[in-house]
Amino acid sequence: MPSDSNATRSDVLILFGETNQQVKSGLRHALRQQGYTKIKDVLNESDLRGGFFGELPDIAIIDYSLPGDIAGAVRELRHGRVGINPYVPMILTSWTAEADIIRKLLNSGADEILLKPLAPNALFERINSLVTRRKPYLTAGDYVGPDRRGGRADPNAPDVNLIHPPNTLKAKIEGCPLSREELLGQIQAAQVGMAEQRISRDVARIANLSKAIQEALEQGRRDQKLFSELDQLVFLGRDLKAQLSDTQFAQVLPVLDSLQKTATELRDGLPNLEAKKVQLLPPLSDAISAVIGSPEARRHIAEIVQMMKQAKPAR
């Protein structure tokens, strides 16, 4: 860890949930020995959701097998639908290594996944990584969370900047805690950046998918991949409409309606693929890019989206 002391670690508030009482006692003892004395127990999903309000936690270390939908609560947090700080560092632990479970935990937006049984040192290493080398965040589809691609550029949006989220754990460990006002300011800036990132990726993905679907027509391809591409186009049209509906860029909504309708009809009509409808996709995509493709437009939309979110009470 960076040069810290038990004094700075004692300021860190940990949400801690574990089903096995022996493991729970052992890890709590080990955390206290490291100077982490502010530990708040979490017994179930309801406790976890409630822990994101009030005195804001700096990290959560939670057993996936606690009662309730733990992964769902984390996903809701990352989307800003629960709690105050969507960027609380999260370590989820699991007694099972089943692929479906691990995928679910990763897709929740948790920062780290740890399999049990685990040694305290393994936990401390992960805490250290969240202080010294926490992954930047991205949003794609229904996912909000750390970028796990290992630094590879996004082929759908190569120029999109990743977001380095607020990290109160790091701030406290390094002896420079954030005031509540500073934290809220950093959260707002990160949320605007995430919204801008999402819009950029959606616009770029629509353009790429429109091109791919046109190539499928030319190649006579009528496979599951084409179905998936059309389905993604339907989703992206819906996603952009939701973001633009209350902004000054609402004039693009009819274009998005046409895109979504065309993609839906093409998808539902497979294996037939109507050439006239496919040829509509590129000009529709170009029209969308012309209206909201500039950095200034995306930034403006992102700021409006964030203002609308702030006006809605968190659950």
Q: Note the pLDDT tens digit of each residue in 55-65.
A: 999 999 999 99
Q: Note the pLDDT tens digit of each residue in 52-108.
A: 998 999 999 999 999 999 999 999 999 999 999 999 999 999 999 999 999 999 999
pLDDT at 162: 82
pLDDT at 249: 79
Per DSSP, the residues of 85-135 read -TT--EEEEES---HHHHHHHHHTT-SEEEESS--HHHHHHHHHHHHH-PP
CB 83, CB 89: distance < 8 Å:
no
Measured CA to CA, the distance from residue 166 to residue 83 in angstroms comes to: 15
Widest CA span in the chain: 69
pLDDT at 278: 94
The HSE-up count of residue 123 (CA atoms within 13 Å, CB side) is 27
275's CB contacts (< 8 A; 6+ apart) are: 217
First to last CA, the chain: 35
- Please compute Rg for the chain using Cα positions: 22
pLDDT at 312: 56
Strand pairing class (143-146; 137-140): antiparallel
Which residue has tokens 């000009």? Answer: 283
Measured CA to CA, the distance from residue 139 to residue 135 in angstroms comes to: 13
pLDDT at 195: 85
pLDDT at 2: 46
pLDDT at 28: 96
pLDDT at 1: 43
Per DSSP, the residues of the chain read --S--HHHHTT-EEEEE-S-HHHHHHHHHHHHHTT--EEEE--SHHHHHHTTSSS--SEEEEETTSSS-HHHHHHHHHTTSSSS-TT--EEEEES---HHHHHHHHHTT-SEEEESS--HHHHHHHHHHHHH-PPPEEEETTEEEE--STT---TT-TTPPPB----HHHHHHTT-PPPHHHHHHHHHHHHHHHHHHHHHHHHHHHHHHHHHHHHHHHHT--SHHHHHHHHHHHHHHHHHHHHHTTSTTGGGHHHHHHHHHHHHHHHHHTT---HHHHTTHHHHHHHHHHHH-SHHHHHHHHHHHHHHHHHSPP-
Question: Which residues of the chain are modeled with pLDDT < 70?
Answer: 1-7, 151-161, 305-315
